[in-house]
Amino acid sequence: MSLDNSKTANTYRKYRQLDQAMNWIVSAKELTEMKKRFAFVVQSNSVFLRFIKWGVGAEPGLTGIPEGMPPVKLEDVPVDMGDTTLTTEFRKISTFLEGGPVHNLTPFRKESNWIQILQGVQSLEAKFLTDVKDKKLLEVYPDLVDILPDFIPGFAQPDLTNKKKSKPKKVINKVSEQTN
């Protein structure tokens, strides 16, 4: 039994990039292992849980930025080689929260600040931040739904199946109404 623990203990390491940490968490084969990995990352990175809460809608997130990735050219630098990380840029990113100082700027200047953050981090982490901003983490990492209630008090699991089913029904109803 101790041999098994030493093997898993060696795989637990701090991740510089939050997207890498998320990929490591969801790559666990069992739910209990996924929970352990999530707890480890939360313990080793002080801002990780805030990003997750913003990305799943458990806390009011980043506002005043257009949805999706802005049309910028992100440099394709190797993993862990970005100029900075989301963890170190947390103070700048948090200015985009509701009532933050960036909301006093013109829309052009606000988007310019956002683009500077995205261009400073590695491209995969920029994609992760965009998913957080757009509250699409559960779409990208659907396995998170099973473990988040243990880490976010009051987190209600969204019913993603009803959302997907309701869209086609609306289209069908509109088509049938037009034919009548």
The string of pLDDT tens digits covering residues 112-150 is 899 888 888 888 898 999 999 999 999 999 989 989 999
Query: Which tokens sit at 83?
Result: 């100029």
Q: Please report the pLDDT score of residue 33 as a whole number.
A: 94
Where do the domains of the chain lie?
A: 2-179
10-residue block means of pLDDT along the chain (180 residues)?
43 82 92 94 92 91 87 72 81 90 88 89 90 93 91 77 39 43
Other beta carbons less than 10 A from residue 164's beta carbon: 9
How many Å apart are CA 53 and CA 20, to the nearest integer? 17
Q: Please report the pLDDT score of residue 37 as a whole number.
A: 94
Phi, psi torsion values for 156, nearest 5 degrees: -100, 125
Q: Please report the pLDDT score of residue 14 as a whole number.
A: 80
- What are the start-end ranges of the H helices in the chain? 2-11, 18-26, 31-44, 48-56, 90-94, 107-120, 123-133, 137-140, 160-179
